[in-house]
């Protein structure tokens, strides 16, 4: 064999396709493109929603019309044409009264391709799973097991029907309709998502998980997740996402709201692998997401995210540390390759006394991508003895990509302790040669080095996800040194 | 085992090795000595396949197979090991994880499955005892924050784990105190057998008091200018390198 150069490797990998880029041909029920009050009403009607919900949506829509798309982020893209998107798409074969056994066999085959056979999920992993394809939640497993503990885990559309008091009480309280352009849009047109309520003192016995997939072309996905952990409860929640490879840009604008009441703990993990576009930067998902949680007294919210997909990511999972002694954590790995752009980070808003936050962000940039960390640590005037530790590390591959760090610190209390550390490093030829000399080829060596770099965050993921996340990191970065 | 014929190599058009001839047979230990800048480290890098250097002429064969066309990892799979003069740090990757990956990659290349965890642990225990290593530091990030001596000992630990056919020790003695030097030399001696060979690259004779070479070669200005037995090393220690330069 002749010398296998990095150029060869690069060439080989450029032709490698996005592993989840298949499209499943299932009949679906899709609204015409465009957005107006009638569409909002139609979505609400389709979901058989009560009037308060319809009005809430319409109010959001009116607010949204007055708003402008934000452009302060360090990303460049052609703004989506909001009239060229279909706001509702549902796989037709789905009966709202389905049980798992009734799920369309093609859909099931699709989950198999995704590596998540529901049967297996049910039997082998202790994970209760909800799957949202395009706009509709397809199946929720383990519902009965959970119900015995009083845990509610269901599509949000169902929760609006069955537990309107809870939805009404909390929806939009953490991420108000007016929070930002995409949050307002989501509030008007969200089609599904997950709802979860953990009663007082209950430790959820299994990981709860939602799997999101955009299947139809020309559609956007707007899911809304609402998770309430009542006093003294605990829950660990995972979400994963993929989309087919398409030339067009698809829009994903989700809202996630977490409520941790006194002494509660929420662990929220995301593995985001939306289609990133091809190597020329064509296509890919615009991922504009608002995620925020509120911590009451002695409670804790921990966000862990592995972001490898999407053409453009705009996402800042945040914690409002309202209660005394509450704790917020943010662990993030963001990988960008080819022409991907990510502007992601967190906001830690310290309001209560003795509140603590930790931010560990690992950005990995390759190809011609741009990767930004943007974070805000804000200490309110009453937040005595608040503490924050932030660490932002960037790893660069090649010399055509960019890594940026935008840390904002605002402190109104003199007793606050805030630490910020940042490093930037590059995978060196000498590191690769060292690995090669020990018999580890370049591709494997990159995976090893990247996993080492990301270890502190990977360790925070539940086991089942950690393995998948590691594989994803390898896939997204193959052939990226040069 | 290893045959180097008329090897010319350099970096960015500048010649460094100018016609090296060397034959190393199984069971032998060869020492390569020479003043700074004579090309010692270049020679080891070229044998290991570092692509920073261009080979313009000559050949290197291992067991009669041309290895010049092989990538560094393929050479490693064939049994070439180089102990680095300056071992590289890989943050977040433990020595254990690194060596496990290296062993399994080599096994894969040779058509074997992963080494079972139980056997891996046994091997690690055995080899770390051989080198009197505190196993705690095997769980630390590879070479990160290691002292010079720890790094070198860790290189020899990897050598012991990988059991290569041909081991090249590039200035392994630099940075070692006398006790560590003895431990490292003792480790290398115990790993010797009739089927493998060692090339020791060094500036000083002191390592050669502990790893006794069968042959000593003196490199100057990219060529081997003198070869002899172990007594040549003593001669160099006494007289320095100046008389060698006059030979060239």
Q: Quote the pLDDT of residue A251.
A: 85
Residue A71 predicted with pLDDT over 90: no
Helices (H) and strands (E) in chain A, counts: 12, 23
pLDDT band per the 50, 70, 90 thresholds, residue A9 = very low
State chain A's mean pLDDT as an integer: 83
User: In percent, how much of chain A has pLDDT > 70?
Assistant: 78
Region of A7 on the Ramachandran plot (φ > 0 left; ψ -120 to 50 alpha; else beta):
alpha
- Domain residues for B32? 2-247
Which among A433, A436, A455 has CB closest to B92? A455
User: Which one is predicted more confidently, B12 or A6?
Assistant: B12
ipTM rounded to 2 decimals: 0.96
Would you kindly state where each structural domain of chain A is located, as residue ranges?
12-477
pLDDT band per the 50, 70, 90 thresholds, residue B248 = low
Beta strands in chain B (DSSP E): 2-11, 14-24, 29-33, 54-62, 65-66, 80-83, 90-94, 141-142, 166-170, 197-202, 215-220, 223-228
Rounded Cα gap, residues A443 and A134, in angstroms: 34
Q: What is the mean pLDDT of residues A310-331?
A: 95
pLDDT digits (tens, 9 = 90+) for A150-194: 999 888 999 999 999 999 999 999 999 999 999 999 999 998 888
Q: Quote the pLDDT of residue A459.
A: 87
pLDDT band per the 50, 70, 90 thresholds, residue A217 = low
User: Which one is predicted more confidently, A477 or B53?
Assistant: B53
- Residue B180's nearest CA partner among B214, B213, B156, B197 is B156
Residue A55's contacts (CB-CB under 8 Å, 6 or more residues apart) are: none
Confirm or reject contact between A453 and chain B (CB < 8 A): yes
Q: Quote the pLDDT of residue B197.
A: 96
pLDDT digits (tens, 9 = 90+) for A17-61: 455 555 555 556 677 788 899 999 999 998 899 999 999 999 999
Q: Which tokens hold the place of B84?
A: 């680095």
Is A430 close to B88, i.e. CB distance below 8 A? yes
For an interface test with A, the pick among B47, B93, B112 (most A C-beta atoms closer than 10 Å) comes out as B93
What length is written for chain B? 248
Which among B71, B102, B106 has CB closest to A3? B71
For an interface test with B, the pick among A432, A437, A453 (most B C-beta atoms closer than 10 Å) comes out as A437
Cβ neighbours of B92 in A, within 8 Å: 451-456
Contact B103, A440 (CB under 8 A): no
Cβ neighbours of B54 in A, within 8 Å: none
Q: Quote the pLDDT of residue A21.
A: 54
Q: Quote the pLDDT of residue B29.
A: 96
pLDDT digits (tens, 9 = 90+) for B160-185: 999 999 999 999 988 888 888 999 99
Q: What is the mean pLDDT of residues A133-146?
A: 62
Cβ neighbours of B97 in A, within 8 Å: 448
Confirm or reject contact between A437 and chain B (CB < 8 A): yes
Alpha carbon A102 to its chain centroid, in Å, reads 29
Is B90 close to A1, i.e. CB distance below 8 A? no
Q: What is the mean pLDDT of residues A215-225?
A: 75
CATH code where residue B207 lies: 3.40.50.300
pLDDT band per the 50, 70, 90 thresholds, residue A317 = very high
Query: Searching chain A, which residue's CA lies closest to the CA of residue B70?
Result: A3
Q: Quote the pLDDT of residue A94.
A: 42
Is A448 close to B74, i.e. CB distance below 8 A? no
**Sign of the CA dihedral running A157, A158, A161, A165:** negative
Question: B55: buried, middle or exposed (CB in 10 Å: 19+, 13-18, 0-12)?
Answer: middle
Instruction: Please tell me the total count of domains within chain B.
Output: 1
User: A229 - beta bridge partners?
Assistant: A198, A260
Q: What is the mean pLDDT of residues B206-213?
A: 92
- Residue B155's nearest CA partner among B144, B164, B143 is B143
pLDDT band per the 50, 70, 90 thresholds, residue B135 = confident
Is B92 close to A439, i.e. CB distance below 8 A? no
User: In percent, how much of chain A has pLDDT > 90?
Assistant: 52
Is B70 close to A1, i.e. CB distance below 8 A? yes
């Amino acid at each position: 064999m002749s010398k296998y150069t990095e150029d060869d490797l690069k060439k080989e990998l450029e032709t490698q396709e996005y592993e989840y880029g298949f499209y499943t041909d299932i009949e679906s029920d899709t609204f015409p493109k465009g957005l107006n009050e009638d569409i909002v009403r139609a979505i609400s009607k389709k979901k058989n929603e009560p009037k308060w919900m319809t009005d809430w949506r319409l109010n959001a829509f009116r607010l949204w019309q007055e708003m402008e798309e934000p452009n302060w982020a360090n990303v460049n893209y052609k703004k989506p044409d909001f009239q060229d998107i279909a706001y509702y798409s549902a796989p037709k074969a789905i009966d709202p009264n389905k049980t798992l056994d009734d799920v369309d066999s093609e859909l099931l085959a699709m989950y198999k391709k995704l590596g998540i056979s529901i049967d297996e999920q049910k039997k082998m992993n202790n994970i209760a799973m909800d799957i949202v394809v395009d706009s509709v939640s397809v199946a929720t497993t383990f519902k009965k097991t959970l119900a015995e503990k009083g845990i509610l885990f269901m599509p949000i559309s169902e929760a609006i029907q069955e537990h309107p008091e809870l939805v009404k009480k909390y929806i939009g309280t953490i991420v108000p309709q007016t929070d930002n352009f995409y949050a307002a849009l989501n509030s008007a047109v969200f089609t599904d998502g997950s709802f979860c309520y953990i009663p007082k003192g209950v430790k959820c016995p299994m990981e709860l998980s939602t799997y999101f997939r955009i299947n139809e072309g020309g559609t956007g996905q707007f899911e809304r997740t609402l998770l309430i952990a009542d006093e003294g409860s605990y829950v660990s929640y995972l979400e994963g996402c993929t989309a087919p490879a398409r030339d067009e840009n698809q829009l994903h604008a989700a809202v996630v709201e977490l409520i941790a009441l006194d002494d509660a703990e929420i662990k929220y993990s995301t593995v985001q692998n939306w289609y990133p576009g091809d190597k020329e930067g064509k296509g890919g998902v615009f991922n504009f997401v608002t995620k925020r949680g509120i911590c009451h007294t002695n409670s804790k919210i921990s966000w862990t995210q592995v972001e490898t997909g999407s053409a453009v990511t705009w996402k800042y999972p945040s914690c409002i540390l309202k209660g005394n002694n509450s704790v917020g954590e943010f662990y993030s790995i963001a990988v960008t390759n080819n022409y991907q752009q990510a502007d992601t980070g967190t906001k830690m808003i310290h309001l209560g006394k003795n509140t603590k936050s930790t931010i560990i962000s690992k950005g990995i940039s390759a190809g011609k991508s741009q990767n930004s960390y943007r974070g805000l640590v804000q200490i309110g005037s009453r937040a005595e003895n608040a503490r924050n530790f932030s660490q932002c590390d960037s790893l660069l591959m090649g010399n055509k990509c960019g890594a940026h760090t935008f840390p904002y610190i605002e402190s109104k209390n003199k007793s606050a302790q805030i630490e910020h550390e940042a490093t930037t490093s590059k995978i060196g030829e000498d590191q690769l040669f060292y690995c090669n000399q020990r018999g580890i080829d370049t591709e494997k060596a990159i995976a090893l080095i990247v996993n080492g770099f990301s270890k502190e965050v990977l360790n925070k993921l539940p086991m089942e996800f950690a393995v998948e996340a590691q594989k994803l990191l390898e896939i997204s970065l193959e052939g990226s040194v040069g | 085992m290893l045959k180097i014929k008329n090897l010319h190599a350099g970096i960015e058009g500048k010649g460094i090795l100018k016609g090296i001839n060397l034959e190393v047979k199984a069971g032998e230990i060869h020492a390569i000595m020479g003043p700074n800048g004579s090309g010692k480290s270049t020679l080891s890098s070229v044998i290991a396949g570092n692509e920073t250097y261009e080979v313009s002429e000559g050949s290197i064969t291992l067991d009669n197979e041309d290895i010049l066309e092989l990538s560094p990892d393929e050479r490693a799979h064939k049994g070439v090991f180089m102990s680095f003069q300056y071992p590289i740090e890989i943050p977040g990757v433990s020595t254990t994880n690194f060596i496990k990956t290296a062993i399994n990659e080599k096994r894969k290349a040779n058509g074997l499955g992963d080494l079972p965890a139980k056997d891996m642990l046994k091997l690690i225990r055995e080899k770390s005892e051989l080198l009197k290593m505190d196993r705690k530091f095997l769980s630390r990030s590879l070479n990160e924050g290691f002292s010079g001596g720890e790094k070198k000992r860790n290189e020899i630990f990897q050598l012991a784990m990988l059991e290569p056919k041909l081991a090249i020790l590039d200035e392994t003695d630099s940075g070692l105190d006398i006790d560590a030097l003895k431990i490292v030399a003792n480790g290398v001696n115990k790993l010797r057998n009739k089927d493998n060979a060692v090339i020791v690259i060094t500036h000083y004779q002191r390592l050669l008091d502990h790893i006794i070479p069968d042959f000593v070669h003196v490199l100057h200005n990219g060529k081997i200018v003198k070869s002899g037995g172990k007594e040549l090393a003593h001669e160099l220690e006494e007289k320095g390198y100046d008389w060698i330069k006059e030979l060239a």
